[in-house]
Amino acid sequence: MAPRERPDVLASIGGGIRGKLTVFLNLSTLLYLAFKELIAERKKGLPLVFEITLRQIYFTGVQALKVVTVISLALGTVVIVQIGTQLSFMGGGIEFIVPLLVLILFRELGPLLTAIIIIGRSGTAIATELGNIAIAHELEAIQVMGINPVYFIVTPRIIGVTVAVISLTIIFIAVGLMGGFWVSKLFLPITFQAFLLELERALTASDLLFAFLKSFVFGLLIALTCTYYGLTVRFSLIEVPQAATRGVVSALLFCFATNALLTVLFYLLGLAKPAPLT
């Protein structure tokens, strides 16, 4: 018997890296084309593009308000319950609770959990919708009519999803803070004015920048990734759920990796200082 050939591990790793680089280049190209066409084609059908963008914002943002509100309220409640249980033994007060809320909601879980909600809800829908459009040959029909498909299909979704993610992150943080305040009243005799004063002391410009930058990048990544994988569908309806799955998984990986990278960079650059606990 001939000896069984061992798989070429290096070739497999190299192929995986090359595939990821190809996807990264394609995503970068798609982002460049989306904003290039927005500038070049701005005089052609701008009201229609604006309307499509508003519809995307409504679907991604407004219709997701209920889910975002419930999850944010639950997160603020759980955080305060856990912190309050520990503070009962340490003798701490609101000067401990508010900085930890700022750390959790502004720097980490606020933007990230909002992105996860949008990926599961809207990312899947975008990839599925564009996959069905590709199968029905609507892209070719749009091109035959002299319409740029990037301008009318990709650009509105990128702008709409990004705006929706930023807006929902703001709402997520605000609801989480309010939920944290009401639950903290069960452990501490505090007033809303004292809570706001402590929040003003704990919150810094870097925290606001951190939350905005993360939500902005997450919105771009979600829209780009799900749009790209939706447009990769070519021949069969079987490809549509596969493209949606790849888009959702890739968007999750990109968001988690970007979140870790931005957090490390902010701390290394000194832009995100440790939350004051006294």
Residue 25 in domain = no
**Is the CB of residue 163 less than 8 Å from the CB of residue 219?**
yes
* Per-residue pLDDT at 2: 47
pLDDT tens per residue, range 218-263: 999 999 999 999 888 887 788 888 888 999 999 999 999 999 999 8
Query: Which of 178, 137, 149, 195 shows the shortest CA–CA distance to 49?
Result: 149
For residue 184, name the pLDDT band (cuts at 50, 70, 90). confident
For residue 15, name the pLDDT band (cuts at 50, 70, 90). low
Measure the CA–CA gap between 222 and 254, rounded to whole angstroms.
Answer: 8
**Is the CB of residue 135 less than 8 Å from the CB of residue 233?**
yes
DSSP 8-state symbol, 6: P
Domain that holds residue 246: 31-36+63-268
Which pTM value belongs to this model?
A: 0.85
Residue 43 in domain = no
For residue 194, name the pLDDT band (cuts at 50, 70, 90). confident
How many structural domains compose the chain?
A: 1
Residue 236 in domain = yes
Q: Taking 50 as the threshold, does the pLDDT of residue 72 lie above it? A: yes
If one compares 101 and 2, the residue with the highest pLDDT of the two is: 101
* Per-residue pLDDT at 158: 93
Q: Taking 60 as the threshold, does the pLDDT of residue 46 lie above it? A: yes
Residue 187 in domain = yes
**Is the CB of residue 231 less than 8 Å from the CB of residue 130?**
yes
Lookup: tokens for 87? 């503070």
Residue 20 in domain = no
**Is the CB of residue 53 less than 8 Å from the CB of residue 152?**
no
Q: Taking 60 as the threshold, does the pLDDT of residue 174 lie above it? A: yes
* Per-residue pLDDT at 7: 56
Residue 46 in domain = no
Residues 6 or more apart from 75 whose CB is under 8 A from it? 104, 105, 109, 113, 176, 179
For residue 74, name the pLDDT band (cuts at 50, 70, 90). confident
**Is the CB of residue 118 less than 8 Å from the CB of residue 60?**
yes
Residue 6 in domain = no
Q: Taking 50 as the threshold, does the pLDDT of residue 4 lie above it? A: yes
CA–CA–CA angle 45, 46, 50 (5° rounding): 125
* Per-residue pLDDT at 273: 59
* Per-residue pLDDT at 1: 45
In the block, tokens 């902010």 appear at 266
For residue 90, name the pLDDT band (cuts at 50, 70, 90). low
For residue 49, name the pLDDT band (cuts at 50, 70, 90). confident
Query: Which of 221, 223, 248 shows the shortest CA–CA distance to 150?
Result: 223
Q: Taking 80 as the threshold, does the pLDDT of residue 79 lie above it? A: no
- What are the φ and ψ backbone dihedral angles of 28, each rounded to 5 degrees? -65, -40
Lookup: tokens for 92? 């701490």
Measure the CA–CA gap between 268 and 150, rounded to whole angstroms.
Answer: 38
Mean pLDDT of the chain: 83
Residue 93 in domain = yes
